[in-house]
Structure 1
Amino acid sequence: MWAAQYIENAKLDPHILHKKIADNIDDLKGLFSDDVLTLSGTKESLEGFTSHDEKLSWMLFVDGCSLLHILENADLRKAEPVNNRLDHVILVMRDILLLENQLPCLVLKLLWKNNNETELINTMKGFLKWHQGITSENKTELKDTMKKTWRSHCFSVQKKNEKKKEEHSVPMPNESESELPIHLLHLYRKIMLPEPSSKIRKVQGKTLG
């Protein structure tokens, strides 16, 4: 429902949007851990699809369009566009920030209604503005939680990248090459925590392996 609303509101062709995902499925698969791809590619879960790539492309297409619709309608004072009970919408918006629910920003960029990357990032920031829930009382605790979550995520990504380099010897892209965050939670982290100095970043790199 949310995916259909996003496509209708943006006056986009769903076939063209899905083709963008399908054409880039090899790059998108590289952004997920192997266990996630294996779990979603079992014989039982492929019922109705001709291949794992086809299923994954449809999942990313629907989930990405749905997420974009929610991000564009983040103002809880105007919850009508998401067409659901307010308490349910709040739970959905909280789930969007869970690490295990992150969609790569490349998916959102491919499905975005235009080529304005800055507009997409500002839409994501608008969502975080409404739902980060930061107060003077919980800000310190929230920062500590974000640090622990991000370090765990970075360690996992680092290990995965090292394994890929050993198997394929393909250099990983430099984050500085793109202004896009990795995903919504990464943007949240960048807002919540200041960028470390080059000296600190070097030490952290050694710590993370």
Structure 2
Amino acid sequence: MVSQCQKEIVADEDRTVSIEIKEGDERDISSLSSNEWLNFIIDARGESRSGSINSLKPKIQKVQPMLREVESNKKCYDPRVVSIGPYHHGKPELEAGERIKIPLARLYLKDSSKETVHELYKEVVNVAGEARKCYAEGLTDFTDESFARMMFLDGCFILQYIYGIVNAIPEVSEIIHHAPLVRRDLFLLENQLPFLVLQVLMRLKSKKHEGEKMITAFIKRIRGEPGERGGLMEKIENFFQKNVWRTQSHREMMQQRNSEDNPPIHFLELVRRQYIDSTTSSIGCHITGDWYSRRSARDFTSVGIQFKPSKTSQLTDIDFKSTCTSGTLQLPPIIVDDITKSILLNLVAYEACPDSITDVGVTSYICFMDSLIDQDEDVKVLRAKGILINFLGSDGHVADLFNEIATDLVPSPHAYVEVKKKIEKHHRSRMKIWVADWLHTYFRNPWTFIAVTAAILAITLSVFQTILAAIQTYLTAHPPKG
């Protein structure tokens, strides 16, 4: 991070200029002459002294205005029940949510002595200065004391809420009557707490890494991974446990190691790490892809390309396999419910931050899915194969969701390059397309299959009878001698 106030010396032919660089300003160079300005840009020493953009620590940013311009998505970025951090703090419409923080914080602290709680608060005060730097400059107009109190209260609230959901604590449900909306609010980009604050507070109840494991378990529940559910959800989770999630233990171990070496900035980044596996990401593959034509899921099935759930839920786990007569596109299974749109949009907003050090993996996934989904029939195809688990409503609602989220988004040109090349190669094979079209036309329902089979048998029998008649005629005309 750039120090509070640095001096930058810029040399030019005639004079030397001293420039003040304040924290948060990339360069204060508006008063320089053209020569000085150009010299400053090309001066590698100046770059190394003040720190390159890549070396600056990313902040908890506001959502970019261009994303808020999409009318159908506007409400997905603002909290509806509870504010976390400074950006939405004090809004009148969130006053009721503010009142539920203290009871949950009290639950989180109830097994600790007053001395322990006071010591814990002092630890939060000690990191409050660093935490303040995680927010955009000029948007944290709070005294040091009020800011530290906000960090402490919001952090205790978040951890007790997560702890209560993961462990099904009745008191949490009794205090919070809008638990699904609170859950949604925790995934908003502008509603984040610096993770270092949560790390300090987690020491109260958790051993090393136990707190992170609890948060990971919470995220898994949101994504539909194994947890304590009942009825239909339990059956779905059992299916995923046997067929999908079991293969992820190695990935989770790698993610934990990555978290230790490079802790997340905030809760939303930890969520993104669950969606995008940086150890196997294909998003960053810098290979120039051939032209790829957009086709819907129905278009794929009509040319013999089938769909199958991937072995993991990672958004990068997309693959295509081709055989002599057909192809299979593997896609990660995803549960679509009432908070899916908000989560995906805020992950996109995080990737769009000017200081983001991530690729656009979530953005690219959404654009890829949007290319497959034009209408409800496409959702029906993917739902039937277990790729889309629809808890939102009709298939049309799911189609609208992906179409709305993808509005004005631009994917990485390198995303899924190999997959797209394989699909295009398969589609350009006239023999495969002809066979697939023939199978699709004549074998898509049992009556057509029976009719075609009967016709083939009739033709075969007719040919056989013709051959027998020809042989008999020949033998009659040319009887064997002797």
**TM range, smaller chain:** 0.5 to 0.7
- Note the alpha carbon deviations across 1:157-204, whole angstroms, 9 max, x for none: xxxxxxxxxxxxxxxxxx987442221111110111121669928999
The 5 A counterparts of 1:76-91 are 78=168, 80-84=170-174, 88-91=178-181
User: Matches of 2:108 and 2:134 in 1, distance apart?
Assistant: 24
Q: Is 2:296 aligned against 1:193?
A: no
**Structure 1 vs Structure 2 CA RMSD:** 3.4
Paired with 2:128 and 2:269, the residues of 1 have a C-alpha distance of 22
Q: Which of 123, 132, 157 does residue 29 from structure 1 map onto?
A: 132
Deviation at 1:83, TM superposition (A): 4.1
Which residue identity lines up with residue 118 of structure 1 in the other structure?
Answer: H
Native 8 Å contact 2:107 2:160 kept in 1:
yes
Deviations, residues 56-102 of structure 1 (Å, cap 9, x unaligned): 000000110111101111248x3513143775111111111111111
Query: What is the one-letter code of the residue matched to 1:26?
Result: G
Seq. identity, %: 28
Q: Distance in 1 between matches of 2:267 and 2:187?
A: 7
- 2:187 counterpart residue number: 97
Which of 110, 129, 141 aligns to 1:8? It is 110
Where 2:212 maps in the other structure, the secondary structure is helix
Residue 120 of structure 2 corresponds to which residue in structure 1?
A: 17
Cα distance in 1 for partners of 2:223, 2:358 equals 31
Q: Residue 265 of structure 2 is aligned with which of 159, 177, 182?
A: 182
Distance 1:206 1:181 in 2: 12
Picking from 194, 199, 202, the partner of 1:109 is 199
Would you say the 8 A contact 2:166–2:214 is kept in 1? no
Q: CA offset at residue 116 of structure 1?
A: 3.1
Partner amino acid for 2:139?
V
Kindly provide the amino acid, as one letter, of the partner of residue 223 in structure 2. Q
Q: Which runs of 5+ in 1 are unaligned?
A: 42-51, 137-174
For 2:147 and 2:132, the matched residues in 1 are separated by: 8
Paired residues of 1:22 and 1:57 also in contact (CA < 8 A): yes
- 2:133 maps to a residue whose letter is G
Hey, what's the Cα distance between the residues in 2 that align with 1:83 and 1:132?
20
Evaluate the alpha carbon distance shift between residue 192 and residue 57 of structure 1 in structure 2; reply closer, same or farther with a 3 A threshold: same
CA-CA distance at 1:11 after TM superposition: 5.7
**Would the aligned equivalents of 1:79 and 1:86 in 2 still touch at CA under 8 Å?**
no
Task: Tell me, in whole angstroms, the C-alpha distance in 2 between the residues paired with 1:206 and 1:101.
Answer: 19
C-alpha spacing 1:198/1:60, structure 2 compared with 1 (3 Å): same
Deviation per residue, 1:127-146 (Å, 9 max, x gap): 1112235899xxxxxxxxxx
Q: Distance in 2 between matches of 1:192 and 1:128?
A: 10
Q: Distance in 2 between matches of 1:126 and 1:177?
A: 17
Conserved? CA contact 1:71–1:127, under 8 Å: yes
For 1:3 and 1:200, how far apart are their aligned partners in 2? 41
State how far apart, in whole Å, the 2-side matches of 1:185 and 1:65 are: 17
Aligned twin of 2:158: 67
| Contact 2:108–2:159 (8 Å) recurs in 1 | yes
Question: Which 5+ residue runs of structure 2 have no aligned equivalent?
Answer: 1-102, 226-232, 237-257, 288-355, 361-482
- 2:367 paired residue number: none
Per residue, is there more helix in 1 or in 2? 1
Residue 114 of structure 1 deviates from its aligned partner by: 5.1
Paired residues in the alignment total 157
Query: Secondary structure of the residue that 1:116 maps to in structure 2?
Result: coil
Is this contact kept in 1: 2:284–2:359, CA < 8 A? no
Residue 216 (structure 2) aligns with: 125
Counterpart-to-counterpart distance in 1, 2:223 and 2:209: 20
How far apart, in 1, do the equivalents of 2:261 and 2:223 lie?
24
Q: Is the 8 A contact 2:195 2:266 kept in 1?
A: yes
Quick one: higher RCO (CA 8 Å, sep 6+), 1 or 2?
1
Structure with greater strand share of residues: 2
Give the TM-score, by structure 2 length: 0.29
Alpha-carbon contact 1:70-1:82 (below 8 Å) kept:
yes
Task: Give the superposition deviation at 1:3.
Answer: 0.6
| Contact 2:128–2:151 (Cα < 8 Å) also in 1 | no
Shift in alpha-carbon separation, 1:54–1:200, aligned structure 2, 3 A? same
